[in-house]
């Protein structure tokens, strides 16, 4: 369990003018809310993922915030624009890595819960399914996955986490 019950239920809105003045020491890839480094994300991904009007999409570089407890999913390089989880069409794996019904592989529709419930053999089959799909050119990570990149690393990480949890439980 985490202590998310103690977090404010509404994301904290930053006054734009006040925020702009703080940009001095900020790195362009630093999330304006959690201060962790984001990963560059294709503009096409932001457009595909936004649940709000694309009139808000600017011709600028966007980054993806991977911090679990940070409400920001995308932010502009200048840090003045953020898109929060409830402004994105998909639930984001990095924000809810323990939620059974959240996708870890968005292209081939594998959820965290499916991987959790799977035997080691089925987990291998899930990895094979994803690899076969990638090799067949059937994935569209830039349009389907909120991180705008391949999910395989996340799937392996989830499998490792569940294996580790099982080991601990068996001790
Ligand atoms: Zn953040």
pLDDT along the chain (171 residues), means of 10: 44 48 70 97 97 96 97 96 97 97 97 97 97 96 96 96 93 85
Which pLDDT score is estimated for 27? 79
Q: Do 10 and 41 lie in a common domain?
A: yes
Can you spell out the DSSP letters for 35-94? -PBPEEE-HHHHHHHBSS-GGG--SS-EEE---TT--EEEEETTSS-EEEGGGBSS--GG
* Rounded-to-5 percentages of helix, strand, coil across the chain: 45, 15, 45
- Residue pLDDT, tens place only, 97-117: 999 999 999 999 999 999 999
**Distance (Å) from CA 126 to ligand 1 centroid:** 30
C-alpha distances out from residue 73 to 31, 117, 127, 167, Å: 9, 28, 26, 33
Domain that holds residue 65: 4-87
- Residue pLDDT, tens place only, 125-136: 999 999 999 999
Q: Do 49 and 71 lie in a common domain?
A: yes
* Residue indicated by tokens 């989880």: 85
**Distance (Å) from CA 64 to ligand 1 centroid:** 8
Q: Do 76 and 15 lie in a common domain?
A: yes
**Residues 6+ away with beta carbon under 8 Å from 38:** 29, 30, 31, 63, 64, 65, 66, 75
For 108, which DSSP code?
A: T
Contact 84, 72 (CB under 8 A): yes
Q: Domain ends where: 87, 109, 140?
A: 87
Q: Do 69 and 108 lie in a common domain?
A: no
CA–CA dist 69, 121 (Å, integer):
32
**Distance (Å) from CA 99 to ligand 1 centroid:** 19
* Residue indicated by tokens 């993922």: 49
Question: 117-124, long-range: CB within 8 Å, 24+ apart, which pairs?
Answer: 120/163, 123/159
**Distance (Å) from CA 36 to ligand 1 centroid:** 6
Q: Domain ends where: 87, 117, 150?
A: 87
Q: Do 77 and 8 lie in a common domain?
A: yes
Which pLDDT score is estimated for 25? 65
Which pLDDT score is estimated for 131? 97
Give residues whose Cβ lies within 5 Å of ion ligand 1: 31, 33-34, 65, 67, 70, 72
User: What are residue 83's DSSP bridge partners?
Assistant: 74
**Distance (Å) from CA 68 to ligand 1 centroid:** 8
**Distance (Å) from CA 33 to ligand 1 centroid:** 5
Q: Do 83 and 12 lie in a common domain?
A: yes
What are 145's two structure tokens? 């996955």
Q: Do 82 and 27 lie in a common domain?
A: yes
């Amino acid at each position: 369990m985490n202590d998310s019950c103690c977090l404010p239920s509404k994301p904290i809105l930053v006054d734009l003018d006040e925020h702009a003045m703080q940009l001095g020491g900020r790195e362009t890839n630093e999330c304006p809310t959690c201060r962790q480094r984001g990963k560059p994300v294709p503009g096409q991904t932001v457009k595909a993922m936004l649940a709000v009007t694309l009139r808000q999409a600017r011709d600028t570089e966007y980054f993806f915030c991977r911090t679990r407890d940070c409400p920001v999913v995308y932010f502009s390089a200048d840090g003045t624009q953020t898109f929060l989880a409830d402004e994105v069409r998909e639930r984001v794996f990095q924000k809810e890595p323990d939620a059974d019904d959240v996708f870890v592989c968005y292209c081939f529709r594998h959820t965290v819960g499916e991987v959790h419930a799977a035997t080691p053999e089925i987990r291998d089959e899930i990895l094979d399914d994803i690899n076969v799909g990638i090799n067949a050119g059937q994935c569209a990570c830039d349009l389907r996955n909120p991180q705008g990149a391949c999910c395989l690393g996340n799937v392996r990480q989830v499998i490792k986490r569940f294996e580790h949890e099982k080991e601990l439980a068996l001790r």
